Chain A
Amino acid sequence: MGLLSILKKLRSHPDKELRLLLLGLDNAGKTTLLRQLASEDVSHVTPTAGFNIKSVLSNGFKLNVWDIGGQRKIRPYWRNYFENTDILIYVVDCSDHVRLEETSQELAELLQDDKLRGVPLLVYANKQDLATALPASDVATHLGLHLIRDRTWQIQACVATDGTGVKVFYVYDNCMPNIMCDIKYSVFIIISLSEPTAE
């Protein structure tokens, strides 16, 4: 399901609900991001056993954000949460050089899954405040994002702990589906519902 169908879904459903799925290795910062999106305190986060879910209301949209634990033992359960996902958010700890390979592999597996076919991908290159963090562009290369042809994707540098680069808004630009991010500290998501010119 691409962004086009998200828009269709939004137009046919007045309640305007979106399902966002947060994945990534353990200690990537998924729960911190989730709390940041919900404008909650981020200083008391604990490792996620199982999953967390929060509904965030923003600009008339109800975002159901699912944050699934990232430890190896839990990863087999990720696929139970794939269905009906509107946007896949993948979080990478850019300072964890040792596991860059591991996180690339996990992402590659996700992108091959049938249930996630065409789902737009947003990658958060997290922990940019740490001196050892790789820049987002390097992370994109490692993850092989440039080779993705079957969906829209976007990579976003962020610091989940202080909210820099976290808040997202999505625009629909002509018929080029696009995800845009980085409105520092603002709490809204816009999906413009302009008519696609060609379909």
Chain B
Amino acid sequence: MNIIEMVFFHLYSVLQWYFRPFIKWFLRKTTKLCELQRICYGDRVGTQRTCNIENSLMLSRTKDVKEVVTFLDAVVKERRFIPSNFHQFLEPSINIIIRVKKINRKIHDAFIPSFRLCLQQIWCYRQLIEEVEDLRCTQFDSNNTSHEEKLLNLWDLMVPDKPLEARVSKDWQYIGFQGDDPKTDFRGMGLLGLENLLYFATEYPQVATHVLSHSRHPKYGYTYAIVGINLTSMAYYLLKDGSAKTYMFNSKPHLPDISLFHKFYCYLFYEFDKLWIASKPENIMEFSMIFKKFENAIRTELADPASVFRINVEVDTI
């Protein structure tokens, strides 16, 4: 079964490699539009359009298009693809593509803004991967005052009515860290785990408190911070393998950036909590099973380019 699938897949990619130019040529002649135009005019704005544009650019065998891709990738590597620089980097790129594809600016003035948005989304996403990786690789460091401040701030936001007894204290277990000192719990997710938890507590205080109270449930409780760090890991992988594009590209008017990543995380936390409580687990040992189930459900949703994600906060404020 597997071999047949593999053979079919190889056959398909070989055929695509040879026939794609012919199909594109044929469509170009009949519609008088290049592939980029057909996508921008035909596909729904958001994930569908942007992903197809990205695909088309990556498959392109035109030298100039390849150079544009390499150039923008280099900008991302230097972390310089930020809104204030968009004009400087994007206009020359768009001009090159318009020239190569022989697009008449006057007739197709609707194409340019649509195409520009796609380019912004594609390369913002790529830069976001780099930025998230930077945060993940930064280990939590007790000697760094800004790290320490963030950690203490997290406590104050989560448990505002009770001051922390001491920096190293059993209190931390109240918000679901493993022991007396959270510093060893961030591990492979580094500062990213802390930033995620902090953003959730800062931007959605009611939701975070609500979720924390669920985690304190005598029967269906779980370890809030540890589960949170595992969700950071899940968000990180979804971002890296491109699954999170659906979330990011459908989040108009936001472009993919670190706060959109945090929002994605908050969405995951809120949804996981709902699923956990609804599953009525026997104890924390069911975590890996429910977590896997949750990941599959999220992946299924992300696989549909029309999915739009939103935390349903109204329910909580009642």
Instruction: Name A's B-contacting residues (CB within 8 A).
Output: 26-27, 43-47, 49-53, 69-74, 77, 80
Contacts and interface: CB of A to CB of B under 8 A. Distances in A.
Contacts of B223: 49, 71, 73
Contacts of A80: 285
Given A44-B233, A45-B187, A50 B284 contact: yes
Contact of A46 (B230, B284, B285): B230
B283 interface: yes
A74 B227 CA distance: 14
B188 A44 contact: yes
A46 B286 contact: no
B140 to A, nearest CB: 13
Given A71-B179, A73-B223, A45 B188 contact: yes
B287 interface: yes
B184 interface: yes
Interface extent on B, as a size class?
20 to 34
Interface in B281-300: 283-289, 291
Contacts of B136: 44
A27 B184 contact: yes
Interface of B: 136, 173, 178-179, 184-185, 187-189, 193, 222-223, 226-227, 229-230, 232-233, 236, 283-289, 291
A50 B178 contact: no
Contacts of A69: 284
17 contacts: A26-B178, A27-B184, A27-B185, A43-B188, A44-B189, A44-B233, A45-B187, A45-B188, A46-B233, A47-B230, A49-B288, A50-B289, A51-B285, A52-B288, A69-B284, A71-B178, A77-B285
A27, A43, A49, A69, most chain B CB atoms within 10 A = A49
A173 B289 CA distance: 40
B28 to A, nearest CB: 44
Contacts of B229: 46-47
B229 to A, nearest CB: 5
Contacts of B179: 26-27, 71-72
Contacts of B288: 49-53
